[in-house]
Amino acid sequence: MTPSDIEAVGLAMHALATELYPHCRSITGDGVRTTLKRLSREIPLTIHEVPTGTEVFDWTVPEEWNIREAWIKDAKGRKVVDFANHNLHLLGYSVPVHEKMSLADLKPRLFTVPEQPDLIPYRTSYYKKNWGFCLPHRDLENLEEGEYEVFIDSDHTQGSLSYGEYFIPGATTEEVLISCHTCHPSLANDNLAGSAVAVALAKQLASQPRRLSYRFCFIPGTIGSITWLATNPNVYPRIKHGLVLTCAGDEGAVTYKKSRSGIAMIDRAMQQVLKTSGDKYHVEEFHPYGYDERQYGSPGINLPVGCLMRSPHGTFPEYHTSADNLDFIKPHCMADTLTKTLDAIEVLESNACFVNLKPMCEPKLGKYGLYGDGGGQRTGEFSELALLWVLNQSDGTNDLLAIAERSGMTFRKILTAALSLEKAGLLRRENQPTPAT
Amino acid sequence: MTPSDIEAVGLAMHALATELYPHCRSITGDGVRTTLKRLSREIPLTIHEVPTGTEVFDWTVPEEWNIREAWIKDAKGRKVVDFANHNLHLLGYSVPVHEKMSLADLKPRLFTVPEQPDLIPYRTSYYKKNWGFCLPHRDLENLEEGEYEVFIDSDHTQGSLSYGEYFIPGATTEEVLISCHTCHPSLANDNLAGSAVAVALAKQLASQPRRLSYRFCFIPGTIGSITWLATNPNVYPRIKHGLVLTCAGDEGAVTYKKSRSGIAMIDRAMQQVLKTSGDKYHVEEFHPYGYDERQYGSPGINLPVGCLMRSPHGTFPEYHTSADNLDFIKPHCMADTLTKTLDAIEVLESNACFVNLKPMCEPKLGKYGLYGDGGGQRTGEFSELALLWVLNQSDGTNDLLAIAERSGMTFRKILTAALSLEKAGLLRRENQPTPAT
Amino acid sequence: MTPSDIEAVGLAMHALATELYPHCRSITGDGVRTTLKRLSREIPLTIHEVPTGTEVFDWTVPEEWNIREAWIKDAKGRKVVDFANHNLHLLGYSVPVHEKMSLADLKPRLFTVPEQPDLIPYRTSYYKKNWGFCLPHRDLENLEEGEYEVFIDSDHTQGSLSYGEYFIPGATTEEVLISCHTCHPSLANDNLAGSAVAVALAKQLASQPRRLSYRFCFIPGTIGSITWLATNPNVYPRIKHGLVLTCAGDEGAVTYKKSRSGIAMIDRAMQQVLKTSGDKYHVEEFHPYGYDERQYGSPGINLPVGCLMRSPHGTFPEYHTSADNLDFIKPHCMADTLTKTLDAIEVLESNACFVNLKPMCEPKLGKYGLYGDGGGQRTGEFSELALLWVLNQSDGTNDLLAIAERSGMTFRKILTAALSLEKAGLLRRENQPTPAT
């Protein structure tokens, strides 16, 4: 993609997030369905509905939750908290209620963050029947004594859990899994940004030649990945690489959290891309908390799935509050996340093992039009250096990624060098290496 | 132990060191016997006497040395150096003498440390017949010319080398060896503190359930461990872990010196305890000098025995001088050494390999009463995190210590989590791992 | 060698470089022959002539180039650039020319370094027929418009490539390869210093007992090593260690660039020497650029050859300019390079695996006259420490180099200790370890 393509994609991703922002998503319900339908206009999603009560490993698909209206009125009938103003106001999965009660009785139902008095926190109670409201701490402090009327028009029904899947076949059946959670209401970085990047990634991949197949899953966090894994065991053996995309739009440096093994090819590819990007970045070891990589990386599943994000969950003050809004995510940051993901996918697609066909000393590059002018020794990183690295290391034991790692050069430079050498008849391509899992 | 228990134990250890301080210990002799007898009032020591002349590997048990009186009188008959004032005044293992001599003839027999002019140094001559006195350099400088009378009433006899042993049986015959040297006269940190910590450790271990058996050896340095090893070859195969305790009472940070292999379970346990203690600490690689770990770690013996200390020998100015006195060791420091040793022993006792019985995705912890309230993601170290680590890593290849190491959490938290999960039926205990040696 | 020997050798090496400095060397031609003849007066070199057109792997031995005269005259007939003044003035391998031309036409043939306006750069065009001159940028700026006469009296003939070889047999047929490039004209550090160090090294090795055989190659860079490798395949299996010597005389810290594998014995030996030298040093990972180590380390050759230098090529401003002159190299620096090379060769010569014959505890060193006086514990590095390291580690799995590495002591101390212990009957020598390649 050209820089202007990338800029345009950044704006398009932000625009998509903006459209999706108002919907009240949860782990089930119509907010998710509306979201998946909107995504379907971008990419041909297959939408799956898994009925309430379906057993998925140690879990059960919960009742579907839908919400129409929710508010608290004060003694004068004024709405002091209203779900219509911001969907974070309601404790997710709240049961219906219509009651009058004193402020003292109401207060235990009201969630705030005193340290961030202007922000609405995000709270849910998926698996324990409960109700409550979330509001800025300043608003809580302004509530006067008196009788309050609370109203929540929600229902929990024998419905289904909805998720979307898009499979892009490649030349081989080896798959890359891209997974995003779609269960959060009006929270932009976590995870509309991830979903928007995934959509742009899918479009780009669908438009280019592919050795690998790609499977995109737009699922509710935790229960969604568990449901998908429980219902798709036949797919596991084909998943050779995977990424969870989340918090993909803030201005923090890109963070890559390694897969459970820590040495999968996706781990090496992503680290090599970040190391040679020239940008700040962070790499985290795997830990069994965070997003759905913990399910993909549970001991019985153990798929090589890492997690790509910018600022990790819980490390930015906007996290899980109303400040995680559309201003918090930036088009150029989402574009940067996308670009780096594509760079890592280039490694997965193109990594190969070559064998030097002139392994006795260096071949005379000039004979093949591969050597620049001028004598004397070169210094620093000069154009032939990647050629020399590829020739030196292509003894049948090092794939291009290993050569990039050892040389410290970008994978793309090493790949370009290898392709030039192959064209010149100096390298023979071996079979694709089997990725580490 | 509660904090007040620990404080009380600290005071008791210091009191024991105080009682033992005046005795003139050496590698043999009545000073050692008196010491072992005093220790026997605390713990049921078996006292062994190995006769002079016994061949122990490349060494021979030396003549027993006893000392009654030793002094230097000046020309006016005043005692200018007197063993009765401080047992460091005499060169250890001095032969008897009663002579008059000039200051010039006497001087080569007088040992001082000019850089520490107020301190009496500690010197011995075990294997070369010799006599001499140690004194503050300032006192040496004040000696006037004239005739001196020197008197040493010592004897070297066909006696024996004495050491004490206390064996505490556990549920298995696998043993932990705890070794302390008891050959130093009035030196507190080196090694009354180590002996006092060992006594407190033995009492504590005797009072609690034990998977492992424990063997405490109170022995003279070098010749003692060599004697013990030469006379107990049948015990080697049972020793799975070991610690030399020394310099256990000063205010320096705890230092752990690894066993010869550097990767024994005691090495990993001790390092994990220190890393997660929140206190400063040092870890030293094995080197073939120091205390008796060098004998336990000789190539033909090669037992997994590390060395736990606070300030290492030779690194503190009080080392091997009269300044290594009872003020130099602190009850709370000895208590800290004890606590950390017990923490490491908890690892040795409790480390085990478990297998996750619900390895497909995370089990739904709430079903088992193992999950706290509230939705939204947690950050930092929260109560369920240890549960998730244990579940994620318990694939049959990682024991609890490995999980603690990977998670960076204390072994106790990981152990507690594993026991909760086992109780909930989510884990099955495998056989105890065989410790690395 | 004594310090005064070393000083004398330093001066002799500088004197040799001084004699060789004026000759116009290139990859072929009489300048190289004169150089090799001068070296033959120091050591009995065999001079090989490989005919033009000989196929050497992917390369062909080029036409021989000789140069007699080259200059540029301005419109007034004044020589403004003259090869007779400095042989760097001519682009190496320039074809003959005699023409008049305008300054504008001449300028593309004139090479300068604007950032170093007083220096003549070094440029060549070995494999593309070309001609040109090199001069200080300041001189270029002073050239006036007008007609210039250029004259180059050179020829390219069906001659040969000349190189020198000196083989010093040792007790075994295992060889150490020492390789220096001799293709640079008046450049002192790169590489008269390397050649002079190699000569001094050869003299020293010829004068002492040798387990290993030594092969010194004085060859033109790249094409020389390729030619040598192509014509000596039978020698490869005997080369167990190798060093390229270059840039051996400047005042920078010694730099060792590892062989391709990075774990060859020469890599370990050289690093141990540098680590324990007390001097600053640098270690570089292998990279497939630099000097002839890239040919020795090509995948089909893969010999364990590192590169020893002081400041690496391209990192010092004098590099490949007229400032790399005889003032830039120092006798004491060349002597230091030589000393460190000899120290590494001592490792290669003397490394061996011993087995402790008294492996049960420490032997009583005093019985063998191996223990100093005095009791009490020693601190720091004391004379018996190397003995204890050798005894402790000599279990049949660690050679002396491994013991030096683990102890952090110099190889020589460990070797001396091992020889004392062997003499005392405490160690048995095993077979020489097979070096890693």
- Whether the predicted pLDDT of A437 surpasses 80: no
Is any Cβ of chain C less than 8 angstroms from the Cβ of A431?
A: no
User: How near does any CA of chain B get to the CA of A202, in Å?
Assistant: 26
Nearest partner of A153 among A98, A84, A75, A86, judged by Cα: A98
User: How near does any CA of chain B get to the CA of C386, in Å?
Assistant: 9
What are residue A252's phi and psi, to 5 degrees? -70, 165
The residue count of chain C comes to: 437
Is any Cβ of chain B less than 8 angstroms from the Cβ of A298?
A: yes
pLDDT at B61: 98
Is any Cβ of chain B less than 8 angstroms from the Cβ of A78?
A: no
pLDDT at C260: 98
Residue C41 buriedness (CB in 10 A; 0-12 / 13-18 / 19+): exposed
Pairing of the two strands A239-245 and A175-181: parallel
Q: Report the alpha-carbon distance of residue C361 to residue C353 in Å, rounded.
A: 20
- Whether the predicted pLDDT of B432 surpasses 90: no
Q: Are C362 and C388 in contact (CB under 8 A)?
A: yes
Of B364, B377, B406, the CB nearest to A313: B377
- The angle formed by the CA atoms of residues C257, C260 and C263, to the nearest 5 degrees, is 80
Number of helices and strands (H, E) in chain A?
12, 19
For the beta sheet containing A395-399, the strands, ordered from the edge strand earlier in sequence to the opposite edge, are A395-399, A353-356, A427-429
Is B299 within 8 Å of C395 when comparing Cβ atoms?
yes
Higher pLDDT, A436 or C248: C248
Q: Report the alpha-carbon distance of residue B419 to residue A95 in Å, rounded.
A: 35
Fold of the domain built from segment(s) A352-429: Arc Repressor Mutant, subunit A (1.10.10)
Mean per-residue pLDDT over chain B, rounded: 95
Of A358, A380, A392, the CB nearest to C288: A392
Of C123, C287, C300, the CB nearest to A360: C300
Per CB-CB distance under 8 Å, the chain C contacts of B124 are 375-376
Tell me chain B's radius of gyration from C-alpha atoms: 25
Q: Torsion angle, CA of A359/A365/A367/A371, rounded to 10 degrees? A: 180
User: How near does any CA of chain C get to the CA of B217, in Å?
Assistant: 17
The structure tokens listed for A304 are 């090589």
- Whether the predicted pLDDT of B435 surpasses 70: no
Per CB-CB distance under 8 Å, the chain C contacts of A378 are 289, 314
Is A375 within 8 Å of C125 when comparing Cβ atoms?
yes
Q: For residue A201, give the H/E element and its range.
A: helix A194-206
The full DSSP string for A276-319 is TSSS-EEEE---S-SSTHHHHTSTTT---EEEEESSPTTSSTTT
Q: Are A331 and A308 in contact (CB under 8 A)?
A: no
Across the range B160-186, mean pLDDT stands at: 98
Is A226 within 8 Å of B367 when comparing Cβ atoms?
no
Mean per-residue pLDDT over chain A, rounded: 95
Its CATH class, for the domain covering C3-62+160-349, is alpha beta
Please, what's the largest Cα pairwise distance for chain A? Answer: 91
What are residue B217's phi and psi, to 5 degrees? -120, 125
Q: Report the alpha-carbon distance of residue B32 to residue C362 in Å, rounded.
A: 23
Is C313 within 8 Å of A373 when comparing Cβ atoms?
no
Q: Report the alpha-carbon distance of residue A133 to residue A106 in Å, rounded.
A: 10
Per CB-CB distance under 8 Å, the chain C contacts of A362 are 58, 222, 226, 288, 294-295, 298
Is any Cβ of chain A less than 8 angstroms from the Cβ of C314?
A: yes
pLDDT at A10: 98
Is any Cβ of chain A less than 8 angstroms from the Cβ of B376?
A: yes
User: How near does any CA of chain A get to the CA of C353, in Å?
Assistant: 31
Q: What letter represents residue A283's amino acid?
A: V
Can you give the pLDDT of all 437 residues of chain C as single tens digits? 888 999 999 999 999 999 999 999 999 999 999 999 999 999 999 999 999 999 999 999 999 999 999 999 999 999 999 999 999 999 999 999 999 999 999 999 999 999 999 999 999 999 999 999 999 999 999 999 999 999 999 999 999 999 999 999 999 999 999 999 999 999 999 999 999 999 999 999 999 999 999 999 999 999 999 999 999 999 999 999 999 999 999 999 999 999 999 999 999 999 999 999 999 999 999 999 999 999 999 999 999 999 999 999 999 999 999 999 999 999 999 999 999 999 999 999 999 999 999 999 999 999 999 986 444 445 555 679 999 999 999 999 999 999 999 999 999 999 999 999 999 999 999 965 444 44
The structure tokens listed for C63 are 């036409």
Look up the ipTM and state it.
0.94
- Whether the predicted pLDDT of B313 surpasses 60: yes
Q: Domain C64-157 belongs to what architecture?
A: 3-Layer(bba) Sandwich (3.50)
pLDDT in tens, A305-359: 999 999 999 999 999 999 999 999 999 999 999 999 999 999 999 999 999 999 9
pLDDT at A371: 81
- The percent of residues above 70 in pLDDT, for chain A, comes to 96
Nearest partner of A149 among A81, A215, A217, A216, judged by Cα: A81
User: How near does any CA of chain B get to the CA of C376, in Å?
Assistant: 6
What are residue C286's phi and psi, to 5 degrees? -60, 140
Q: Report the alpha-carbon distance of residue B206 to residue C193 in Å, rounded.
A: 72
Is any Cβ of chain C less than 8 angstroms from the Cβ of A398?
A: no
Is any Cβ of chain C less than 8 angstroms from the Cβ of A170?
A: no
pLDDT at A378: 54
Q: Report the alpha-carbon distance of residue A369 to residue A92 in Å, rounded.
A: 65
pLDDT at A436: 42
Least confident residue range of A362-366, B382-386, B420-424, C286-290: B382-386
Across the range A246-254, mean pLDDT stands at: 98
Is any Cβ of chain B less than 8 angstroms from the Cβ of A109?
A: no
What are residue A69's phi and psi, to 5 degrees? -155, 150
User: How near does any CA of chain B get to the CA of A56, in Å?
Assistant: 10
pLDDT band at B375 (very low <50, low <70, confident <90, very high): very low
pLDDT in tens, B81-98: 999 999 999 999 999 999
- Beta strand residue intervals within C266-374, DSSP E: 281-284, 305-309, 353-356
Is C375 within 8 Å of B294 when comparing Cβ atoms?
no
pLDDT at B95: 98
Between the alpha carbon of residue C374 and those of residues A46, A100, A298, B83, C214, the distances in Å are 85, 91, 62, 20, 46
CATH 1.10.10.10 maps onto chain C at 352-429
Q: For residue B307, give the H/E element and its range.
A: strand B305-309
- Whether the predicted pLDDT of B379 surpasses 70: no
Nearest partner of B350 among B417, B424, B260, judged by Cα: B417
Interface test with A, best of B358, B361, B409 (most A CBs within 10 A): B361
Q: Are B250 and B310 in contact (CB under 8 A)?
A: yes
CATH 3.50.30.90 maps onto chain B at 64-157
Q: For residue B150, give the H/E element and its range.
A: strand B147-157
Nearest partner of C66 among C24, C122, C101, C34, judged by Cα: C24
Is any Cβ of chain B less than 8 angstroms from the Cβ of A263?
A: no
pLDDT in tens, B15-44: 999 999 999 999 999 999 999 999 999 999
Across the range A26-30, mean pLDDT stands at: 98
Is any Cβ of chain B less than 8 angstroms from the Cβ of C375?
A: yes
Beta bridge partners of C157: C64
Name the one residue in this structure whose structure tokens are 């694709």.
Answer: A432
Q: Are C359 and B293 in contact (CB under 8 A)?
A: no
pLDDT band at B5 (very low <50, low <70, confident <90, very high): very high
Q: Please name the residue of chain C whose CA is at the shortest distance from the CA of residue A396.
A: C299
Is C356 within 8 Å of B300 when comparing Cβ atoms?
yes
pLDDT at C437: 42
Q: Are C69 and C83 in contact (CB under 8 A)?
A: yes
Per CB-CB distance under 8 Å, the chain A contacts of C315 are 379
CATH 3.40.630.10 maps onto chain B at 3-62+160-349
- Whether the predicted pLDDT of A374 surpasses 60: no
Is any Cβ of chain B less than 8 angstroms from the Cβ of C379?
A: yes
pLDDT at B380: 56
Q: Are C111 and C165 in contact (CB under 8 A)?
A: no
Is any Cβ of chain A less than 8 angstroms from the Cβ of C301?
A: yes
Least confident residue range of A386-400, B204-218, B294-308, C358-372: C358-372
Q: For residue B38, give the H/E element and its range.
A: helix B30-40
pLDDT in tens, B258-294: 999 999 999 999 999 999 999 999 999 999 999 999 9
pLDDT at B1: 81
Angle between helices C385-393 and C400-407 (to 10 degrees): 120
Least confident residue range of A173-177, A381-385, B412-416: A381-385
Q: Are A219 and A292 in contact (CB under 8 A)?
A: yes
Beta bridge partners of A47: A164
- pTM of the prediction? 0.94
User: How near does any CA of chain C get to the CA of A360, in Å?
Assistant: 5
**Chain C stretch 320-359, residues whose beta carbon is closer than 8 A to a beta carbon of chain B:** 356, 358-359
Residues B249-284 as b/e (b if ≥16 CB within 10 A, e otherwise) read bbebebbbbbbbeeebbbbbbbbbbbebeeeebbbe
Is any Cβ of chain B less than 8 angstroms from the Cβ of C385?
A: yes
pLDDT at A375: 46
Contacts of A212 (CB under 8 A, 6+ apart): A170, A171, A172, A174, A175, A176, A240, A241, A348, A349
Is B392 within 8 Å of A288 when comparing Cβ atoms?
yes
Count of C-beta atoms within a 10 Å radius of residue C389? 25
Across the range B376-386, mean pLDDT stands at: 67
